[in-house]
Amino acid sequence: MEDSAENVQRDFGPQPLDRFLEEYGLSNRDLVEASTEQLTHKQVQRARKGRRLTRNMQEKVARAYAAALVEKGMEAVASPDQLFTYRP
């Protein structure tokens, strides 16, 4: 049973997203407010801390991050590959 629940890594440690948010002075709230999709503070926190997210959720967080940067007057292109060290 190689794919059992015990063998699936769920915590990948702080992600580049966390560093970028700190660097640009953005908070979880900034991403939630900038998102046009349903995104919660808890989801953003999980993304920052490195809890396993689905590809869809990673893309949603990346879109919210880009929108938050645009709201701050910065040019933004953010891909999930830049924001996360793992890809499901």
Q: Where are the domains of the chain?
A: 16-83
**pLDDT tens profile 35-70:** 999 999 999 999 999 999 999 999 999 999 999 999
Q: State which amino acid sits at residue 82.
A: Q
Q: Which residues pair with 11 in a beta bridge?
A: 51
Neighbours of 15 (CB within 10 A): 22
Is the distance from CB of 17 to CB of 39 less than 8 angstroms?
no
**pLDDT tens profile 17-40:** 999 999 999 999 999 999 999 999
Cα–Cα distance for residue pair 32/6, rounded to 1 Å: 32
Cα–Cα distance for residue pair 80/56, rounded to 1 Å: 10
